[in-house]
């Protein structure tokens, strides 16, 4: 099992960001962080890099359940969504929380991660 799921969409970065944000919202996730990697690399290192963006997606209900089930889970929250420029379009990749919690000895957390993953997967498939 891979640590991410992905899909390439034939659009620009801004449209892809808007579209995945809307699909995630339908599944109860909001975007709580946004990191523009190419912009940061240009500002900090004067490096030109392809368009690369990381979104932090959070479903508050799932976040509360996760934190109350496993109090250290915050080290892997929120769920990251990566968008990057490719020759064939914009690749969108979303973390697979089921893989991320494999090393946790907590069956309730593993079950919750599967539920969260299914919602993330639904959002990506609708694109």
- Confidence band, pLDDT 50/70/90 cuts, at residue 1: confident
Q: What is the CATH number of the domain that holds 17?
A: 3.30.310.70
Residue 2 tokens, joined: 């891979």
Alpha helix stretches (DSSP H) within the chain: 13-26, 37-45, 60-69, 97-100, 107-125
pTM: 0.95
How far apart (Å, rounded) are the C-alpha atoms in residues 93 and 57? 12
Q: Domain tally for the chain?
A: 1
User: What would the mean pLDDT of 6-28 be, rounded to a whole number?
Assistant: 98
User: What would the mean pLDDT of 37-41 be, rounded to a whole number?
Assistant: 98
In the block, residue with structure tokens 């919750």: 112
> Do 91 and 104 contact (CB within 8 A), yes or no?
no
Q: Residue 114: which domain range? A: 4-125
> Do 126 and 23 contact (CB within 8 A), yes or no?
yes
């Amino acid at each position: 099992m891979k640590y991410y799921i992905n899909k390439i969409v034939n659009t620009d970065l801004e449209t892809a960001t808007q579209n995945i944000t809307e699909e995630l919202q339908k599944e109860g996730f909001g975007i709580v962080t946004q990191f523009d990697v190419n912009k940061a690399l240009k500002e900090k290192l004067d490096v030109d890099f392809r368009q690369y963006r990381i979104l932090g997606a959070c479903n508050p209900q799932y976040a509360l359940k996760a934190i109350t089930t496993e109090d250290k889970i915050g080290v892997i929250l929120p769920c990251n969504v990566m968008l990057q420029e490719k020759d064939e379009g914009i690749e969108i990749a979303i973390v697979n929380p089921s893989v991320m919690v494999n090393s946790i000895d907590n069956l309730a957390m593993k079950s919750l991660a599967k539920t969260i993953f299914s919602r993330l997967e639904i959002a990506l498939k609708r694109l």
